[in-house]
A and B are shown apart, each in its own frame.
Chain A
Amino acid sequence: MKRYRIPIAAALFLLPLLARAVWFYQGIFWRAETIATPDYESFTIPQPPLSTSVPAAELAPSHAIILLDQAHANMFSPSELETLTGILHTRGARVESVALGSYDNRTLADQLKYASAYISVCPISAYSTAEIQLLQDFVRGGGRLLILTDPTRSAVTYDYYGYGSATVMADVIAANSLLAPYDIAFVDDYLYNMSFYEGNYRNVFFTDFSANPLTKDLSKIVLYAAHSLQTGSGTVLIQSSQTTKSSRTDTDGAYGVAAVDAGTHVLAIGDLTFLQPPYNQVADNAILIRHIADFLLEAPRIHDLKDFPFLFQREVAIVPMSDVLLSANLLGPIRTLQQDLAGVGIGSAMAPGVMAGKDLILLATFSSPGIGDYLKPLGIQLPSLTAYPSARGYPQIEIPGFGSVPASGIGLILFSRTETRSTLILLAEDSASLTDLLGVIGPEGFSNCVLQGDVAVCGLGGGFGDFGSSWWQPYGAASDDLPPDLTSTPVPAG
């Protein structure tokens, strides 16, 4: 028994230790492998693919005037467009602001007369129907329209006095009202790509371009949180890869971000950031910006009569026809006309006849010899004034678009252009009426006149009011009933 005493004692000693250990511990925690943590040194800051400098092409200097909309709560600073406006300036163009309540009271209509292009950036407040119509006419006349929007430029308004609700005013609403006539519409979203991006998921690479001068030489551009857009009759110029998503649906797709209308006069781009340093130097963005400048400067602007006095490209010869008497009464309005032209940088001088290399203002009467040669291209037929009273009771002038108008008490302002010359014809019954006709012309346009294309029919003397509403007869509705007070109008000598 004695020989077991020590092992039993040892066992008894260990028993409580073991019991307590087993009571508390089922085993020993042992982590076989070290726990991996991110290799922080391996995560580097992504650098953008910078473009090589783009040599400026040898281009003819431009004297175009580009309008920059600042009248619609536009959410941008002009400095953000410096890369674009800088190119415009170096090419000789002038960028002019369209602002509310401008100091010289110029309206949009006034400014569009002489502009080549109109830029609207992130507009928030709505365009009026009249403004949209003016811009449509402007585009129809060859003007270029550039609409830039950006998802980061929404305006937020708070209802402090009501329920405290916030309203987000997206720039696409006003922009889309301008673009609707051209079948282009921005989507109130932003594009992003979680795998193929430049520094940040919302900076998306674009490599899919339609063939167009605006996308020439582009292989890759980056846009920075761009609105997508859709177009019906227009052309999508820049389209995303299939892995790009729209924030509106979070679904993959090939989304357009830039488009031109069917006439290629309207350009819409859903990003503003790519114009700003340093993003203008990323990938081929600089080339795109240069193309946009070309787009704005190469506007084949066709001026029509409503653009007076911005009708001429060169010095103007003012030529009175042989039967026009340059009386003292007439000289004064001619001087005013010259001043109006000088105000827009066009020199003018009286001349005995048409001069090569100069534009022309022709002062004529209905009976001026040879005037028919000028009017024939315009489709205007003058009556034989000696045939008064005509079968219709009074000499009528057939004017395309107007129908028949009485020859008395009115003046015509006609505009035509060829490759070599722009011609403005001022036509009235006689020299005295011509004086009155010159009086309706001013830098703001033609008062007391109805303009239609390149023809203006102006009431002279008492104005249209004296004629009532029946002086103008549309096609097929000519009437022999004349206003009573016209029946005694003397017939001009033929």
Chain B
Amino acid sequence: MEYFRTKWLTHPLAHPVLWLALPLALGFAFSLLIPRPIVGTITFRDAIYSYSAGDIISQLRYAYDHPEIQAVVLVMDSPGGTVADTESLYLELIRLREKKPVVVSIETMAASGAYYLAVGADYIFAKPSSEVGNVGVRTVLPSAPSVYEDEISTGPYKFYGGSRDETLRLLDPLKKSFYKAVVLGRGENLLTTPENILSGKLFIGSEALRFGLIDALGTYSEALAKAAALAHVWNYETKDLRPLALGPESTAVYYGFFLETADGTQSPYPRAAGAYYLYIPESDRRLP
């Protein structure tokens, strides 16, 4: 120690090294506490239902809770899904967006509930031929109430959930709230009539851009760049939020949302009756 004190501290260069190098070294060390910004990506290629929505919500919450994630890109290819799960996702997305910018990149389709979710973002990209829109609700009306000899309930609509007329009328407020979300999300960018939007049409990306349903035609890379720009970051890294939020082994599980026919073929129809923000392609309506 004595050697160190006499040998080094008395060296003519000792003082400049101490007061120049040490703060710099400390500065370098502390600078590492400034995280490299991350643009998180959430990939959603499924219908919106409880399991898929649960996965996405976990990833949105992870992004919300982690400051190094400066922006999120939601890559979307979905026909929509259940009303309640769509609303859950939408509100969770809005919560994240209050804190961080969110950009949506539509791949093949963002129909119905998926578009509901998309309008919650700051910016929407789609491909020129992506299918976008299908704003509206669909349901299957319940059977007319009847009574059975061996199956008893405590009320006429216990089996059915409501009358056919009430079920039909339920769609109207759902449609209106959907449309309101579109108006709030797209704002002045919206360049078409309410009637055109509410017709339930699916628009291709280029047409959706013309109507102001999306902001730009572009790639996933452009979506990342846009998210980074909105977050005012550069030299960022991108990370898939699924393994971060759900564990490294996590993979998307397609859990029986769609009805399967007797031969195991998946139909475009959901298993359960109910109200859906869902696009069902009329591809094959034959009975199995």
Contact = CB atoms under 8 A, between A and B. Distances in A.
Given A38-B184, A158-B286, A24 B236 contact: yes
Contact of B98 (A12, A31, A166): A31
A11 B23 CA distance: 8
Contact of B19 (A9, A40, A45, A156): A9
B173 interface: yes
Interface in A27-50: 27-29, 31, 34-40, 43-47
Interface stretch (A193-201, A379-387, A474-482): A193-201
B232 A200 contact: no
A17 B31 contact: yes
Given A16-B30, A158-B286, A44 B173 contact: yes
Interface in A373-395: none
B181 interface: yes
Contacts of A14: 27
A23 B199 contact: no
Contact of B24 (A15, A39, A44): A15
B198 interface: yes
Given A17-B30, A24-B233, A38-B184, A10 B23 contact: yes
Contact of B235 (A10, A12, A23): A23
Contacts of B100: 29
B231 A29 contact: yes
Contacts of B169: 45-47, 199-200
Given A13-B26, A29-B70, A8 B19 contact: yes
Contacts of B71: 29
B250 to A, nearest CB: 28
Contact of B184 (A13, A36, A46): A36
Contacts of B199: 194
Contact of B177 (A11, A38, A158): A38
B271 interface: no
A5 interface: yes
A31 B256 CA distance: 39
B190 to A, nearest CB: 14
B180 interface: yes
A37 B230 CA distance: 21
Interface string A274-288: 000011000000000
Interface in B162-185: 163, 165-166, 168-174, 176-177, 180-181, 184
Contacts of B180: 38-39, 43
Given A13-B23, A29-B232, A46-B172, A37 B285 contact: no
B232 A27 contact: yes
A37 B181 CA distance: 6
B28 A26 contact: no
Nearest to A46: B172
Interface string B220-239: 00000000001111111000
A28 B28 contact: no
A26 B26 contact: no
Interface residues of B, number: 54
Given A29-B70, A278-B165, A13 B173 contact: no
B97 interface: yes
B98 A34 contact: yes
A3 interface: no
Contacts of B259: none
B116 to A, nearest CB: 10
A162 interface: no
Interface string A284-326: 0000000000000000000000000000000000000000000
A164 interface: yes
B23 A29 contact: no
A12 B195 contact: no
A161 to B, nearest CB: 12
B76 interface: no
Nearest to B36: A24
Interface string B12-36: 0000000110111011101110101
B205 interface: no
A200 B99 CA distance: 38
A25 B30 contact: no
Given A35-B97, A156-B285, 13 more contacts: A8-B20, A15-B27, A16-B27, A19-B31, A23-B235, A24-B236, A31-B97, A35-B184, A38-B177, A43-B172, A158-B286, A166-B286, A194-B198
A25 B184 contact: no
A146 to B, nearest CB: 24
B172 A9 contact: no
Contacts of A44: 173
B122 to A, nearest CB: 9
Nearest to B136: A201
Given A17-B31, A24-B233, A200 B20 contact: no
A350 to B, nearest CB: 56
A492 B202 CA distance: 88
B160 to A, nearest CB: 15
B24 A25 contact: no
Contacts of A200: 168-169, 171-172
A21 interface: yes
Nearest to A245: B195
Interface string B99-122: 111000000000000000000100
A166 B286 CA distance: 8
Contacts of B235: 23-24
Contacts of A278: 163, 165
